[in-house]
Amino acid sequence: MLTTKKLTRKFNDKSYYSETISQYFLLPFRFLKINESHEVLVNDIGDFVLVPIGTTKKIVNKVFLKSENIDLYYDLISNFIISESEKPELLPVIEARYRTKKSFLDNFTSLHIFVVTLRCEHTCHYCQVSRVTENKDQFDMSFSNIDEGISLMMQSPNQHVTMEFQGGEALLAFDKIEYAVNVVMEKAKEYNKKVTFVICTNLAPITDKMIDFIKKNDILISTSLDGPEFIHNKNRRRPGNNSYEITIDGINKCKAKLGNDKVSALMTTTALSLQYPEEIIDEYIKQGFENVFLRPISPYGFAKYNPKKNHYFIEEFLDFYKKGLNYILELNKNGQYIVEDYASIILKKIFTPFPVGYVDLQSPAGLINSVIVFNYDGYIYATDEARMLAENKDYSFQLGKLGINSYNEIFYGDLSLQISDVFSNESLAGCSECAFQTYCGADPVLNHATQGDMYGFRPSSIFCKKNMEIIRYLFDLMVKDKNNERIFKSWITGYNL
Supply the pLDDT for residue 306: 55
pLDDT at residue 23, rounded to an integer: 83
What local confidence, expressed as pLDDT, does residue 17 receive? 56
Q: What is the pLDDT of residue 1?
A: 47
Say what the pLDDT of residue 41 is: 98
pTM over 0.85: yes
- What residues contact 259, with CB distance under 8 A and at least 6 apart? none
Distance CA 55, CA 40 (A): 10
Residue of 54, 217, 199 whose CA lies nearest to 41: 54
Whole-number pLDDT of residue 297? 87
Q: How far apart are CA 127 and CA 182, in angstroms?
A: 30
CA–CA gap between residue 73 and residue 64 (Å, rounded): 8
Q: Where in the chain is the domain with CATH 3.20.20.70?
A: 104-411
Q: For residue range 229-238, what is the model confidence (pLDDT) as tens digits? A: 999 999 888 8
CATH code assigned to 104-411: 3.20.20.70
User: For residue 240, what pLDDT is reported?
Assistant: 80
pLDDT less than 50: residues of the chain: 1-2, 302-303, 305
- The amino acid sitting at 35 is N
Residues 41, 295, 385: CA angle, nearest 5 degrees: 100
At residue 236, the pLDDT reads 87
Instruction: Give the model's pLDDT for residue 391.
Output: 83
